Every structure is written in C-alpha cells, then in structure tokens.
C-alpha cells in the first residue's frame, strides 16, 4: 500500500505539471538547443536543465517541457556503500526566463560493504558479526533505571544489547557486561541493577533547527539516536580486585553515518519514491544573451520519517534522510561562451546564423 500511494502521488504530480501546457511549443528553426533535465544523485539535486550533475545557464522557452528517466550508480563512505538510483524529472517553461522542475527518486538500492563502520548497525534492533551474529560494541549515553550514579559515555560490550524493536523506549539495555554485586565482577553493578533504554531528552530549544535530543542507552553523548561505534577492543588483565575487563581500543564518541541514509541497517536495502524535489530556474539575462546567470530555489522533502514503525523501517532500508520539514536550497548559476575558456562551454550557433566565411568547429 505504501508503494501504491507513492506511485499514485508521483503520477498525480506529473499530471498536474503536464496540465500546465497543452503541447510542446515549436522552437525557432534557428535555435538548435536540445535541453534536458540534470540527473543529480550523489550531490546536487536533479531536475533543473543541465547535463548529469551540472546545471547550465539556459532555460526552457515558454510552453516547452521535458520528461526524463535516468540510471545512476555511485559510492559513498563511511561504510563503502554502493548506491543505485533511478531518478525521474519533469520540467516546464512558464516563460523564456523561468522554468519549473520536479524530481523524484523512483527507485533506490543500497549495498553496504562495511557495516561495522556505520552507527546505524549498532541500534537495538540491529545485529553484526563479531564474529558471531549479535549486537555490536558501542559507546552510548548512560541508560536510565536502577543504575546508581552511572552517567555520561558508557562502553556497551558486544552481545550485550538485547533485541528491542523501535521506538526502543522502555526496552532492556542489557547488563553492560556486569553481574550483581561490586568487585570483582566489573567496574559497576549491584543487586537490582536494571538498565533501561530511556525516552528522548530535549537539549534546550531542540525544535526543527536546534540541537539533537539525547537518547539514554541508545544514542551517543553528543546527541541523536545513533551511538558511537567501537571498531576494536582489548582485555585488561585481572587484578586482586577485578576479573579481566574488556575495554574499547579503537572507537568514536560521535556517530558515524551516511547523510543520505543515516539509519540503514541492511546489507542490501531497496526503497522507492524516497524524496521529492520541486523548484524553479530563473534566468536574469535575455535568452539570446551569451551570458546566462540567475538563481535556482528548491524545496526537497522526504515521505519517510521516524514518527512511526513503518516510516522508520523504510529509513532502515535506506530510503532517505528522513528530515522532518525537508531541505530548502538556493543556488546561483552562471555560464559564458568563449573567449572565457573551453571550461565554460561554447554557445553553438545554427549554420544559418554563422557569419559569412566562417567554418564551424566540430
């Protein structure tokens, strides 16, 4: 049903945009341009006219429109992640200076090659191999419950975290490698020790633009629901008061994640219609002016959010960033012909527009 709703939403959006024009206007026979939407993916947003991930200074004429489908594959770190996306784009020219565009990621596939480098694989409903399948070691904010004076950053050993489904609150945080009583069973622990995954704690004015909330027993001490990760551990030898103790050797206090898919916890995840972008491309100079510059405002929003189990599950499949209100952006563009250099491109003229005696460059 979720896929059907997304497909219906995308179809209705494109239908509304198509209704803005009844047909594609015919170009002047002396205008050889053949504009297409940029693909985007892995960087700039797709949709405005351009080539691959580069925008140009041209805009569609009034009444012209384009539709494109593309295939893009790129890689990201941390995690040595391979992403495959199929973006759809639609553009329409309102006048000779202004075009509107719409872009959506119709399909996304994510393959994670190094999951141990991503904090999302250390959440309470995720597992890793160390070398057996179980919860990975992490650095988390101290849990709540009957834990005495334990506070701040706490080392959570491997295989300590029981499986707890989202939203995690109230679930067991494990024993942190300790048994009841004090020494010689560890650094802390006492009869009745009971660590619990706590509810989010707001940090000051933590609204849409404030600092991230704290998640006791789940997230890191710097805020957010993702924990710090532990890549290697070592064992301190036993003393007269303690048994051998496992401690982190290589670790991070802050989380490690992909901005495009911060909660991915599958080695291979698939999702569809993961983001939507609407925007405009406004050229300030004349369409016949060889110098083109202007602005491109856009708004990008995500259908999947961490406000329910279904949305969070999609995000753990790598569907998107899950921003609450989305992203706002404003970009400037500029292009110019020679003699400013080949890197700026060259405005090609129709053969009939070439001056007499001019030999066109191929």
Instruction: Using the 3D structure, point to which of 201, 233, 256 is the last residue of a domain.
Output: 256
Domain shared by 100 and 48, yes or no: yes
CB 164 within 8 A of CB 117: no
CB 45 within 8 A of CB 52: no
Domain shared by 138 and 249, yes or no: yes
pLDDT grade for 121, boundaries at 50, 70 and 90? very high
pLDDT at 161 over 50: yes
d(CA 322, CA 305): 5
Is residue 311, in this structure, part of any structural domain at all?
yes
Structure confidence by residue, pLDDT tens digits, 74-95: 999 999 999 999 999 999 999 9
**Prior bond of 339 cis (ω within 30°):** yes
Domain shared by 235 and 166, yes or no: yes
Q: Which residues contact 209 (CB under 8 A, 6 or more apart)?
A: none
Domain shared by 188 and 227, yes or no: yes
d(CA 312, CA 145): 26
How crowded is the C-beta side of 190, counted as CA atoms within 13 Å? 7
What is the per-residue pLDDT for 341? 43
Is residue 361, in this structure, part of any structural domain at all?
no
Domain shared by 39 and 133, yes or no: no
pLDDT grade for 239, boundaries at 50, 70 and 90? confident
Average pLDDT value for the chain? 80
Q: Tell me how many domains the chain contains.
A: 2
Is residue 35, in this structure, part of any structural domain at all?
yes
In 15-76, DSSP assigns E strands to 50-51, 54-55, 65-69, 72-76
Domain shared by 124 and 108, yes or no: no
Would you report the helix, strand and coil content of the chain in percent, each value rounded to 5? 10, 30, 60
Instruction: Using the 3D structure, point to which of 256, 283, 310 is the last residue of a domain.
Output: 256
Q: Which helix (H) or strand (E) holds 251?
A: strand 245-251
Is residue 362, in this structure, part of any structural domain at all?
no
Domain shared by 299 and 315, yes or no: yes
Helices (H), the chain: 2-19, 309-316
What is the per-residue pLDDT for 350? 46
Is residue 329, in this structure, part of any structural domain at all?
yes
What is the per-residue pLDDT for 2? 57
Domain shared by 178 and 283, yes or no: no
Q: 2 in helix, strand or coil?
A: helix
Is residue 358, in this structure, part of any structural domain at all?
no
Is residue 290, in this structure, part of any structural domain at all?
yes
pLDDT grade for 245, boundaries at 50, 70 and 90? confident
Domain shared by 149 and 215, yes or no: yes
Question: Which structural domain, as residue segments, surrounds residue 290?
Answer: 2-113+264-353
How crowded is the C-beta side of 205, counted as CA atoms within 13 Å? 1
In 252-360, DSSP assigns E strands to 268-271, 276-283, 292-301, 327-335
Domain shared by 273 and 235, yes or no: no
Is residue 186, in this structure, part of any structural domain at all?
yes
Helices and strands (DSSP H and E) totals, the chain: 2, 18
What is the per-residue pLDDT for 324? 81
Structure confidence by residue, pLDDT tens digits, 290-337: 888 899 999 999 999 888 899 999 999 999 888 888 889 999 988 877
pLDDT at 13 over 90: no
Instruction: Using the 3D structure, point to which of 232, 256, 280 is the last residue of a domain.
Output: 256
What is the per-residue pLDDT for 205? 60
Domain shared by 97 and 129, yes or no: no
Q: How many CB atoms lie within 10 A of CB 3?
A: 10
Using alpha carbons, select from 275, 221, 279 the residue that is nearest to residue 252. 221
Using alpha carbons, select from 42, 66, 98 the residue that is nearest to residue 283. 98
CB 78 within 8 A of CB 122: no
Domain shared by 164 and 207, yes or no: yes
């Amino acid at each position: 049903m979720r896929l059907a709703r997304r497909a219906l939403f995308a179809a209705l959006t494109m239908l509304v945009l198509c209704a803005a024009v009844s047909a594609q206007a015919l170009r002047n026979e002396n205008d050889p341009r053949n504009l297409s939407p940029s693909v985007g993916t892995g960087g700039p947003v797709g949709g405005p006219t351009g080539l691959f991930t580069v925008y140009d200074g041209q805009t569609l004429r009034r009444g012209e429109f384009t539709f494109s489908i593309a295939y893009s594959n790129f890689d990201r770190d941390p995690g040595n992640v391979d992403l495959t996306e199929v973006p759809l784009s639609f553009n329409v020219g309102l006048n000779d200076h202004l075009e509107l565009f719409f872009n959506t990621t119709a399909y996304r596939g994510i393959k994670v090659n190094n999951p141990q480098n991503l904090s999302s694989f250390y959440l309470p409903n995720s597992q890793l191999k160390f070398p057996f399948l179980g919860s990975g070691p992490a650095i988390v904010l101290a849990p709540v419950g009957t834990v005495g004076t334990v506070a701040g950053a706490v080392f959570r050993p491997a295989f300590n975290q029981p499986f707890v489904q989202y939203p995690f609150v109230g679930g067991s945080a494990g024993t942190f490698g300790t048994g009841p009583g004090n020494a010689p069973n560890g650094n802390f622990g006492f009869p009745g020790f009971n660590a619990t995954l706590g509810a989010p704690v707001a940090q000051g004015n933590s609204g849409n633009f404030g600092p991230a909330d704290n998640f006791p027993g789940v997230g890191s001490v710097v805020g957010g629901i993702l924990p710090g990760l532990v890549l290697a551990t070592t064992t301190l030898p036993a003393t007269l008061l303690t048994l051998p103790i496992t401690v982190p050797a290589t670790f991070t206090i802050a989380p490690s994640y992909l901005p495009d898919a911060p909660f991915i916890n599958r080695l291979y995840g698939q999702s569809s219609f993961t983001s939507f972008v609407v925007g405009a491309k406004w050229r300030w100079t004349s369409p016949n002016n060889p110098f083109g510059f202007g602005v491109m405002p856009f708004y990008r929003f995500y259908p999947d959010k961490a406000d329910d189990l279904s949305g969070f599950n999609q995000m753990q499949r790598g569907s998107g960033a899950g921003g609450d209100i989305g992203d706002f952006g404003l970009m400037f563009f500029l292009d110019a012909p020679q003699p400013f250099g080949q890197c700026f491109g060259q405005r090609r003229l129709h053969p009939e527009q070439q001056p007499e005696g001019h030999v066109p460059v191929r």
